[in-house]
Amino acid sequence: MTQSTGAFWTATEQGQPLDAPDWLAALSQAALAEAAFNIPAARARLQACNPPGPWQAVRELLAIRVELREGHQPALHALKPRLAALLQSATDEPTLARAWHTAGVVHTRLNEFERAEHALLEALRRIEPSPARLWILDSMGQCFQGQGAWSEARRILQGVASLKQASGDVMGTAISVGNLALLELGLGRNPQAEAALVDVLQKLGPKLPSLSRLRLETLLLQSRLDTPGAAAQAEALERALAQCGESGHHLKAFACLALARARPEMARQWLELAEHDFTAPADLALVRYWRLRLLPKAADDAAQVAETRSLIRRAGPSSEAELLTHLLFAERSSGTSVMNQHLDEAFEFAQRANNPLWVERVDRLYERLDPRGFSHRVLERFAGRSLEELQKTTLEDATSVFADLVGFTLRSQELSPEEVMETVRSLFELAVPLFVRFRVRPLQHQGDGLLAVCQGADHARRGLAFARAFVARTLRVTQVREAQRQVARADSRVAVVPALDLPLSDLIHTSPAGNLLLGERLAR
């Protein structure tokens, strides 16, 4: 008797192959190959099977996942109409839930974060008890990370990694800890990344597939660059690389990039190996960037610089290599005006990409190279006005917004000081992209409250829109927290995190009008 689609998905997510009938076995093998990054095998199995009726939706979702796994930026846009059609045609809830999850991942990769949040929340709403719930939460953590909500992202990824480890999901634990390490490395918190990686490698290292271990060893080397432990970790990464066989894989290429950075005297050799294993233009552009960075003569070679720029253009609209190249040219500029031009271009690029992590990277370099210019630009970014305009004494209408966590003072008595500060920090991080979008300027933090002002043309509309968006955002975070608690409650081996939701109220004053309260949980 043919299994249900729900049983099929759960079995494959647990790594259990199915062997009958033939078309179901082929689907099972395709799903397992896709999860193991074996793209050719997954494609071959999908092409060899023609399942009946509702199982065609399963086959289409697996085919979409294979394309997503390859990661080519132009292909991501082509997946959106296919996913939309699948969401319209699929009828069984298990497949629909996983299709919404895949849609959320695609939106995240394209920096369409609000759409990603909605898709992932829909996936969480539909998903049955299964390993996929943790994968959806992991994707939500990456979505929050992309928006600069780093405290929430860290909380989710740490919780998901603990839940996966408690359930015995070795490969899943490695993936979530790797995602957490990427977050910490991006924020310059190398010791925290190192600690998480060392812990999981000590506990699970011998049980991990070679490519999963390679990813963790690569990230561990990145965390130890410019430290006394770099040389020993480079040797460990070389050993892990040797165990991955001869076939090409993008994780092997990233390992070669890390080794090029750790061993500058062998940089050319490692970069050539990385270039051999990469196929996506964005990854090839990254290799070219490191050529310019690590090989002094390459930076002076006009042809190599031109080739790097050409690869960047082919890499799509949001290539990390383009950002890094702007920053490299800023560092090596001989004059202040040229340096500021590259920094401004890097910042505009990071904003267009809607990537707060990249904005943070530009800000750190800008502050180091031109502290005075940086302070002026940050002020203008949030206020929408220059320092000269703000220093003038003027009398004008404006809208003020005070955001406050409902009942947090009482609930905070049950928390440690660190947990209180983490919650307040999370609240501010959730607001930052909204400050920029609606041109609202934060004025003051008052405990768990945030006071901000909106000035200039259309200030009342923008102030209200900011407040509505902020309340909606914290509500979505609350829903994610509750979903994670539900998963934890189902596993007796995991301590359930105490409820700490983010119900937000906004008090809005727009002159010459009176006050307006906004929010769902305002009863006192």
What does the pLDDT look like over 146-172, one tens digit per residue? 888 888 999 999 999 998 988 888 888
Contact present, 117 and 143 (Cβ < 8 Å): yes
Q: Is 127 helix (H, G, I), strand (E, B) or coil?
A: coil
Residues 6+ apart with CB under 8 A from 122: 100
Tell me, what's the pLDDT at 522? 32
Q: Which residue has the higher pLDDT, 284 or 521?
A: 284
Start and end residues for every CATH 1.25.40.10 domain found in the chain? 1-148
Structure-block tokens of residue 409: 């003072």
Distance CA 134, CA 140 (A): 10
Q: Which helix (H) or strand (E) holds 399?
A: strand 399-405
Q: Which residue has the higher pLDDT, 296 or 487?
A: 487
CA-based nearest residue to 325, from 489, 450, 310: 310
Task: Identify residue 443 by its one-letter amino acid code.
Answer: L
Q: What is the CA radius of gyration of the chain?
A: 25
Phi/psi for 148 (5° steps) reads: 85, 10
Confidence of residue 173 (pLDDT cuts 50, 70, 90): very high
Q: Which helix (H) or strand (E) holds 35?
A: helix 22-35
Structure-block tokens of residue 264: 């500058």
Mean pLDDT of 265-274: 93
Pick the CATH number of 1-148 from 1.10.3080.10, 1.10.287.90, 1.10.357.10, 1.25.40.10: 1.25.40.10
Instruction: Return the CATH number of the domain spanning residue range 392-518.
Output: 3.30.70.1230
How many Cβ atoms are within 10 Å of 524's Cβ, its own excluded? 5
Pairing of strands 399-405, 449-454: antiparallel
Structure-block tokens of residue 465: 């829109």
Tell me, what's the pLDDT at 301? 61
Length of the chain, in residues: 524
Distance CA 247, CA 40 (A): 12
Structure-block tokens of residue 422: 């983490």
Q: Look up residue 183 and give its DSSP letter.
A: H
Residue 272 has pLDDT above 80, yes or no: yes
- Across 479-501, b (16+ Cβ under 10 Å) vs e yields bbbebbbebbeeeeebeeeeebb
**Torsion 298-301-303-306 (CA) sign:** positive
CA-based nearest residue to 69, from 31, 45, 111, 37: 37
Chain centroid, CA 433 distance in Å: 15
Q: Which residue has the higher pLDDT, 448 or 33?
A: 33
Start and end residues for every CATH 3.30.70.1230 domain found in the chain? 392-518
Phi/psi for 451 (5° steps) reads: -105, 130
Residue 281 has pLDDT above 80, yes or no: no
Confidence of residue 192 (pLDDT cuts 50, 70, 90): very high
Q: What residues are paired with 445 via a beta bridge?
A: 450
Q: Which residue has the higher pLDDT, 465 or 389?
A: 465
Distance CA 458, CA 54 (A): 51
Q: What residues are paired with 510 via a beta bridge?
A: 399
Phi/psi for 518 (5° steps) reads: -135, 135
Q: Is 401 helix (H, G, I), strand (E, B) or coil?
A: strand
